[in-house]
Amino acid sequence: MERHNGPWTILDSEEEYKDDFIEVVRDDVRRPDGQLGAYATVTMKPGVAVLVVDEDGTVVLTRQFRYALGRDSVEVVSGGVDEGEEPLAAARREAKEELGIQAERWDDLGRIDLDTSIVRSPVSLFMARELSWTETEQEGTEEIEPVKASYAEAIRMIEDGTIMHAPTCVLLLKARAFVESTSAH
């Protein structure tokens, strides 16, 4: 049965692949210009990204090997939102698992889409402050090293290419704007 997606008409859909993390769907479509074609989309499970900030204003990032990249990545705490889990609960869980951090203050800094052309992957952004430290609960696939940096150093790491993780880049910018707007009052 035909259905519409904005100016596109979806004539048929077929699930090409699905696992616990992603789903790939191929649609037969009528494009806005009337031509027939195919369009594939990837839907990833929703994610969270957490900027951890200690009492001195130091940010605590992570360094970990990322299989898809084949190299280490410096980034904020991040991970998936489980089925039926609220994003804030996932953010709390990921901070504890990856860095052994519990926070009294959680600021919701909104949501971003990683790639809007073929990927559906919403990421909820949080800033965690007023920290206490406990044991990590890293998964068997994780070997995470904490990386402490001043805010200015973290921005320089974006500029020099050390940080390339898109949610980290956006979260650092949004956190700065949030802190500036709340401290002005």
Rounded to an integer, the average pLDDT of 25-35 is: 97
52 and 76 share one domain? yes
Report the C-alpha gap between 106 and 76 in whole angstroms: 15
Number of structural domains (the chain) is: 2
Q: Which residues contact 9 (CB under 8 A, 6 or more apart)?
A: 2, 3, 29, 30
Q: What is the CA radius of gyration of the chain?
A: 19
The whole domain housing 14 covers 3-44
Burial grade of 39 (CB within 10 A; 0-12, 13-18, 19 or more): middle
Q: Is 138 helix (H, G, I), strand (E, B) or coil?
A: coil
Give yes or no: residues 7 and 83 share one domain: no
More confident residue, 9 or 137: 9
Residues 128 and 75 in one domain: yes
Quickly count: other Cβ atoms within 10 Å of residue 103's Cβ.
Answer: 21
Confidence of residue 14 (pLDDT cuts 50, 70, 90): very high
Q: Are residues 159 and 102 in the same domain?
A: yes
Average pLDDT over residues 67-94: 96
